């Protein structure tokens, strides 16, 4: 089955063609750079940019996959969560295409898309597993009982993990979005430079919190002279990263132990982080197995939407064409 996936929930316009929920024939991603100068995504600018680029990106995806629209068996598009204007561009384009060509349409939860990136990248993940989805807008620890059946073990009380990276990067003058830049800078730093707070790490719940860590980093930077800050930039990045990542790893591995779950998947933009990957790898034990997608499938892309659409369609068939965008769509 050939699935055309469409993603436009934030500032990536992406169209993909995926075969049988597994083989990526094309995954064209355009990251809008118009937002950099504003220090964050401007919804109206994002909507207009999606509108301008969605058709050429769709044409490029079909060409790259060497298929025609008439070869496509299913059209999948993100319906939420995300920014309403950007969501509407991709969703409306997908529904129009489906209606005009009489191809079945299925709408996809963006977070289930992130989770599905692991099914694209790996075989042999236990149906029941633990998934840590860490993105710019979400921090979710889920028990996946089967595809589509989830129990939310924990999420964030305030900012998401990616949001914390972006805020700290902004304070440090690293630009927006700063997660990947901060990750790179931290590689040259010493994480023992400063012990920043690990919020809620020993708390019995699986909840996360990042605002205290952001404040601690900000106050520390304010206490430094310009010279001291310049000299310790990489150390601050490494120390922040160690604190941010340690809570994610500790809580996820505690949940795995308490729930007797051996397979752990990571997903979302922050799953691209080098320290997230290395600390999980260092700390898993015995029969535990770690899965994460390649970096190109961690950050927003349409291949993951096509994969999720494939599994959704198999589970419950097509969606109605009247389906609307839902900015705060929940997964659980």
Cα–Cα distance measured from residue 314 to residue 22, given in angstroms and rounded to the nearest whole number: 14
The one among 86, 137, 154, 293 contacting ligand KG4 by CB under 6 A: 137
For residue 272, state whether it binds ligand KG4 (rule: CB under 6 A): yes
Cα–Cα distance measured from residue 4 to residue 17, given in angstroms and rounded to the nearest whole number: 5
Binding partner of residue 80 among ligand KG4, Zn ion, none, CB cut-off 5 to 8 Å per kind: none
For residue 113, state whether it binds ligand KG4 (rule: CB under 6 A): no
Report how many residues bind ligand KG4 under the rule CB under 6 A: 19
Beta pairing class for 23-31 and 12-19: antiparallel
Nearer to ligand KG4, 98 or 247 (CB): 247
Smallest separation (angstroms) from ligand KG4 to the CB of 166: 5
Q: Are 112 and 330 in contact (CB under 8 A)?
A: no
Nearer to ligand KG4, 264 or 297 (CB): 297
Q: Are 78 and 305 in contact (CB under 8 A)?
A: yes
| Rounded (10°) angle between helices 161-171 and 211-222 | 10
Cα–Cα distance measured from residue 285 to residue 233, given in angstroms and rounded to the nearest whole number: 33
Smallest separation (angstroms) from Zn ion to the CB of 236: 27
Smallest separation (angstroms) from ligand KG4 to the CB of 78: 10
Buried-state track 103-126, b at ≥16 Cβ within 10 A, e below 16: bbbbbbbbbbbbbbbbbbbeeebe
Task: Name the site residues for Zn ion (rule: CB under 5 A).
Answer: 135, 300
Residue ranges in 150-209 that form contacts with ligand KG4 under rule CB under 6 A: 162, 165-166, 177-180, 183
Q: Are 182 and 241 in contact (CB under 8 A)?
A: yes
Nearer to Zn ion, 177 or 189 (CB): 177
Q: What are the tokens at 145? A: 């009982």
For residue 90, state whether it binds ligand KG4 (rule: CB under 6 A): no
Smallest separation (angstroms) from ligand KG4 to the CB of 329: 12
Residues that bind ligand KG4 (CB under 6 A): 10, 135-137, 162, 165-166, 177-180, 183, 268-270, 272-273, 299-300
């Amino acid at each position: 089955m050939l699935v055309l996936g469409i993603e436009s929930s934030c500032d990536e316009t992406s169209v993909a063609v995926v075969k049988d929920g597994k083989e990526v024939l094309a995954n064209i991603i355009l990251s809008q750079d118009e937002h950099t100068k504003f220090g964050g995504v401007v919804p109206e600018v994002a909507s207009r940019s999606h509108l301008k680029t969605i058709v050429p990106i769709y044409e490029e995806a079909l060409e790259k996959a060497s298929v025609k629209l008439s070869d496509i068996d299913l059209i999948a598009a993100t319906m939420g969560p995300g920014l309403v204007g950007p969501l509407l561009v991709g969703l409306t384009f997908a529904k129009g295409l489906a209606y005009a060509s009489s191809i079945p349409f299925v709408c996809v939860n963006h977070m289930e898309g992130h989770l599905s990136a692991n099914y694209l990248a790996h075989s042999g993940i236990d149906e029941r597993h633990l998934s840590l989805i860490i993105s710019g807008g979400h921090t979710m620890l889920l028990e996946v009982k089967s595809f589509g059946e989830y129990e939310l073990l924990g999420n964030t009380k305030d900012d998401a993990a990616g949001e914390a990276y972006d805020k700290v990067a902004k304070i440090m003058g690293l630009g927006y979005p700063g997660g990947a830049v901060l990750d790179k800078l931290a590689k040259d730093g010493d994480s023992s430079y400063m012990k920043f707070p690990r919020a809620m790490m020993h708390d019995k719940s699986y909840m996360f919190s990042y605002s205290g860590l952001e404040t601690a980093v900000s106050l520390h930077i304010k206490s430094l002279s310009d010279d001291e800050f310049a000299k310790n930039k990489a150390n601050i990045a490494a120390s922040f990263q160690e604190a941010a990542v340690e809570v994610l790893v500790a809580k996820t591995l505690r949940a795995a132990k308490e729930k007797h779950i051996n397979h752990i998947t990571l997903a979302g933009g922050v799953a691209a982080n080098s320290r997230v990957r290395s600390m999980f790898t260092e700390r898993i034990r015995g029969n535990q197995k770690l899965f994460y997608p390649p970096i190109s499938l961690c950050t927003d892309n349409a291949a993951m939407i096509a994969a999720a659409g494939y599994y959704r369609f198999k589970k419950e068939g097509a969606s109605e064409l009247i389906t609307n965008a839902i900015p705060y769509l929940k997964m659980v």
